[in-house]
Amino acid sequence: MNDTIHLNANTEFETKLIQERFNVNVAFYIHLKQFELHTRKELKEKIEEVFFFSKSIEWKFDSFGIEKQGSREKDIIAYFIFRTCNIKKLQKLFKQEFNSYDNAIKITCSVAKYEKIEESFFELEV
């Protein structure tokens, strides 16, 4: 066990853990007209379509959820958060898949870019 913190990857496994120097999170917020029992299922089906067509885009799915009215003003918002480096292709897919979704009022998006400042490694015995 090596419970001391070190700044460089010392083992082959630690080398595999090294994170990218830059990370881009893209959050899509779908403003909904209404929320009913089938809404969550519909949204999951729509996002599965985005996944199906996104094979040429390097991305990682981060999270999905639905916020009730009042959390952010008056809209009900479904959100999908991805980590990606190809924002334009992901935008195009979302527009294509959600353009025909009758329950959507609009889609807003935020892009957050992070730069790794420091990375260190340690191991815990459990």
pLDDT of residue 65: 79
Mean per-residue pLDDT for 75-84?
80
Number of H helices, E strands in the chain: 3, 4
CATH of residue 74: 3.30.70.60
Q: What is the pLDDT of residues 15-55, one digit of tens each?
A: 888 877 667 888 888 888 888 888 888 888 887 777 666 66
pLDDT of residue 2: 59
pTM passes above 0.85 = no
Q: How many separate domains does the chain show?
A: 1
Q: Would 126 be classed as within a structural domain?
A: no
Its domain, for residue 37, covers 24-115
Q: What is the pLDDT of residues 47-58, one digit of tens each?
A: 777 766 666 666
Task: Assign residue 112 a region (left: φ > 0; alpha: ψ between -120 and 50; beta: otherwise).
Answer: beta
